[in-house]
Amino acid sequence: MKNATLNLRDLVILVADPSPYMCMLANSMLRGFGANKAMDARSSIDAIQILTEQKIDILLCDNLLPPHGGLKLTQAIRRNVNNPNRTVPILIMTSDTRESTIKSARDAGANMVVAKPMSPSSLYDRLSWIAFNPRNFVDAPTYFGPDRRFKIEGFPTGVGRRQGDKAIEVSDETGPTLAQDDIDNLFNSSRVG
């Protein structure tokens, strides 16, 4: 995978962030990666409107996107059975890297989380991860989104699990903040047991 290439040309990318400058920065990075069709949304309302009007290939969404927040937006996208973008890959951008927040993003149906401030390499690697690590979707009464079952490797305090996954204590604590590697581990799709 390290030698794989990404071709973002003609992909429709929606960057949803309240900061015009942050959008500009994200778009600059995406242009550098070869993207030529990036759009902006400054609020969850704008984003929903765009998502209902046209097909998007990937959504980059700020965790604090007003007024509803990026995670509520993610849930809204996943729960709407009539939304043509229901399975669109969603990458949450956040500077709040507390374990509880990352788990909430995963449980809302996000594909991956990238920590802010973003660097080109951190964004590229997350996009690459989504591209080359496809996961099944789960449609359950309380959840619709990428399969959240994962193998825990190198993450000391434990994370949420399902029956059949490796037994491990689940921490109720909200801290400490996680490094990007720990965040990635939370989204690792490999199963155990």
Partner 1 sequence: MSNSNGAREFPVETDFQKKVRRAGGVTRNQAVGDAEAQIETLKEEFTDWLKDGLTRLQTAIQLAETYPDNAVLIEDAFRSSCELRDIGTTVGYELVTFVANRLCEVLDAMRNGADYDEVLIRCHLDALQLARQDIYKNVSPDQVPDLCDGLRRAAEHSISMAGRIGK
86-105 residues near partner 1, rule: CB under 8 A:
87-89, 95
As to burial, measured by CB atoms within 10 angstroms (0-12 exposed, 13-18 middle, 19+ buried), residue 123 is: buried
Which helix (H) or strand (E) covers residue 90, if one does? Answer: strand 90-94
Contact 177, 192 (CB under 8 A): no
Q: Which CB sits closer to partner 1, 6 or 168?
A: 6
Under rule CB under 8 A, residue 113 binds partner 1:
no
Site for partner 1 in 30-89 (CB under 8 A): 30-34, 55, 57-58, 64, 66, 87-89
Interaction pattern, residues 119-138, with partner 1; x per rule: CB under 8 A = xxx-xxx-xx-xxx-xxxxx
Structure tokens at 75: 């849930």
CA angle in degrees (0–180, nearest 5) for 39-83-9: 35
Supply the minimum distance, in Å, between the C-beta of residue 154 and partner 1: 23
Site for partner 1 in 143-172 (CB under 8 A): 143, 147
CB of 166 to partner 1, least distance (A): 19
Residue 43: CB atoms within 10 A of its CB come to: 16
Using a 10 angstrom Cβ sphere, with 0-12 exposed, 13-18 middle and 19 or more buried, the burial of residue 141 is exposed
Smallest CA-to-CA distance from 29 within 50, 60, 4, 5 is with: 60
Binding site for partner 1 (CB under 8 A): 2-11, 18-19, 21-22, 24-25, 28-34, 55, 57-58, 64, 66, 87-89, 95, 116-121, 123-125, 127-128, 130-132, 134-141, 143, 147
